[in-house]
Chains A and B, each alone.
Chain A
Amino acid sequence: MEMVKDINPTLIKRKGNGQINIKSGNKVDTVVKWTIWVLTALTILAFFFFDYTGLQIQRAISETLYNLRVMFFEPALTHFSWGEAFYQVGITLGLGVLATIFGAIIALFLSLLAAENLSKPWISKMIRVFVAFIRAVPTVLWVLIFAIAAGLGSEAAVLGMLFHSIAYLVKAFSEAIEEVNPGIIEALRSTGSSWWHIVVHGILPSTFTYFLSWTFLRFEINFSVAVAMGAAAGAGGIGFELFMASGFYFDLREVGLITYAILIIAIILEVISTRLKNRYFPSSVKA
């Protein structure tokens, strides 16, 4: 291979051994690398400091296996009927649907203001920061915060989930909006269209399928959150029954059955959302 002689040598980054670097070698990479090393070291160290008194490893393993066997190979209902079980699953789904639909509608309007190509820079920044803050706090915490006002129960759960859903969807929606070809917006603007004309006839037709897919994805998340909220915030539904079966009745068979029920719903949702994703998402978002 012919060598290029007159390349400025200061442009080329080299490793300690003189080989040429192809990563830009910025600070982020270094920080990530060190974080992973430190965490690994801490995890290994931690095993030496646990309290192992009274632990008989063999018995622990065999009894855990026994419990798992009862749970998953002999599932049964004892404290409530099948009809009741379906009804409770319905409640959990309902919590998820409520939080998702209201979240999606509110997020749609906010994302129009958050998208840089439709909004003023300061409004867009403000909403982004606000939404990032909401997302940084886990859903459970929001539920507990709303419980102060609404009392523990389904209202607080829906409000908390709604809050977090809005934040999540505003980010997803506004990013989809920003992907819209700027030429479309320019062309509509040049005909004398108003902002709402551009949104309804230029932006929505180009992003609608993404919005649907993201909303469904969020519904999937909200379903699992609703299960957890049933127990943690007394929101009712299948999550609460699971909590009762395990924490109060110690009924492993019932725990097994409820787990299966949740699993089946989760799989159905997953299948639908995968199909939606494959159909409508650009390859960059498919994860």
Chain B
Amino acid sequence: MEYVLVNAYSIFPIIQKGVCSMSLLKVEELSKLYDGETRVLKNVSFEANAGEFLSVIGPSGAGKSTLLRCINRMVEISGGKVKFDGIDVGAMKKKELRKLRTNIGMIFQHYNLVPRLTVIENVLHGRFGYKSTLQGVLGRFTEEEKERAFFLLQKLGISEHAYKRCDQLSGGQQQRVGICRALIQEPKLILCDEPIASLDPNSSKVIMDYLKTISTELGITCIVNLHQVEVAKEYADRIIGLKEGEIVFDGPSKVLYRDQIEHIYGIESRELITV
């Protein structure tokens, strides 16, 4: 697995390995109300460094997806601040927001590819953030971009499917297309919303290994929502435990012990969790 992305520095010249200790994302007292009454997130604060692999765990309904979507402002922020590279995300205008989103890749539980388009077309969708309306509508991509798309597909081992329609691929393969679409954005941060929740154990391992490689070798920060505690403990540098919209744990994966897990998931689910 280690050799998978060794060549990647040549295609991501901006990303240097040495920047790991810098704070990339700063979330301050973030709160979110959907309909003006129920508080889905309450005073959430944390920081993420460049190249860090961070996992957010918590029972369903805890607000994990909402937290991710506040970071790239797919949902509006109700209170507090999100700072990306020192810039306040909440105050961004439409144009700045598009630019922000080119810097933040996103990976989804259901892959969210356009099923009738080919793999390569779906990967190139990751470049729209850099395009003018007309360029994008006409689907004008440079040869360089297309080559990079093939390069990424090859790195993720699916280049032979490049001209297949996405609905002909298995779940694990579709998720790898999703990762390519995120990587071609040349992001500094990748948000993953339950990336392995619809996959079998083998594909799950492959996907998690790729994500880990992306953070360690490309220095891209990964924030991964997971509901499997074991997976989080195995892969993440740091774990954030979310419960009813509040952070109840924030620390290195090594120090997440059984009683804290029980606290995050509630005592009743003790039997469900195997650590």
Contact = CB atoms under 8 A, between A and B. Distances in A.
Given A190-B104, A192-B99, A184 B112 contact: yes
Given A186-B74, A193-B129, A201 B117 contact: yes
A192 B102 CA distance: 6
Interface residues of B, number: 34
Given A183-B108, A186-B74, A191-B185, A197 B116 contact: no
A194 B102 CA distance: 12
B72 interface: yes
A184 B112 CA distance: 5
B108 to A, nearest CB: 6
Contact of A197 (B108, B121, B133, B185): B133
Interface in B44-83: 72, 74
Interface of B: 72, 74, 98-102, 104-106, 108, 110-117, 121, 125-131, 133, 136-137, 139, 178, 181, 185
Contacts of A151: none
A93 B142 CA distance: 45
Interface residues of A, number: 19
A202 B126 CA distance: 12
A44 interface: no
A130 to B, nearest CB: 27
Given A194-B136, A197-B136, A181 B112 contact: yes
29 contacts: A181-B112, A187-B112, A188-B125, A189-B101, A190-B72, A190-B101, A190-B104, A191-B102, A191-B106, A191-B125, A191-B127, A191-B181, A192-B99, A192-B101, A192-B102, A193-B129, A193-B136, A194-B98, A194-B133, A197-B133, A197-B137, A200-B136, A200-B139, A201-B117, A201-B136, A202-B114, A205-B116, A205-B117, A206-B115
Given A191-B126, A192-B99, A201 B114 contact: yes
B127 to A, nearest CB: 8
A199 to B, nearest CB: 8
Nearest to B117: A205
B74 A190 contact: yes
Contacts of B106: 187, 190-191
A183 B129 contact: no
A151 to B, nearest CB: 41
Interface of A: 181, 183-184, 186-194, 196-197, 200-202, 205-206
A205 B137 contact: no
Contact of B110 (A183, A188, A194, A201): A183
A191 B108 contact: no
A117 to B, nearest CB: 14
Contacts of B127: 191
B104 A200 contact: no
Given A192-B129, A193-B129, A201-B125, 7 more contacts: A183-B108, A191-B102, A193-B128, A193-B136, A194-B128, A196-B137, A197-B133
Q: Which 8 pairs of residues, A with B, have the shortest CB-CB distance?
A: A192-B129, A187-B112, A183-B112, A192-B101, A193-B128, A190-B106, A197-B136, A192-B98
Contacts of A191: 101-102, 105-106, 125-129, 181, 185
B114 A186 contact: no
A54 B126 CA distance: 80
Contacts of B117: 201, 205
Contacts of A202: 114, 125
A188 B116 contact: no
Nearest to A185: B112
Nearest to A202: B114
Contact of A184 (B102, B114, B126, B130): B114
A108 to B, nearest CB: 14
B183 to A, nearest CB: 11
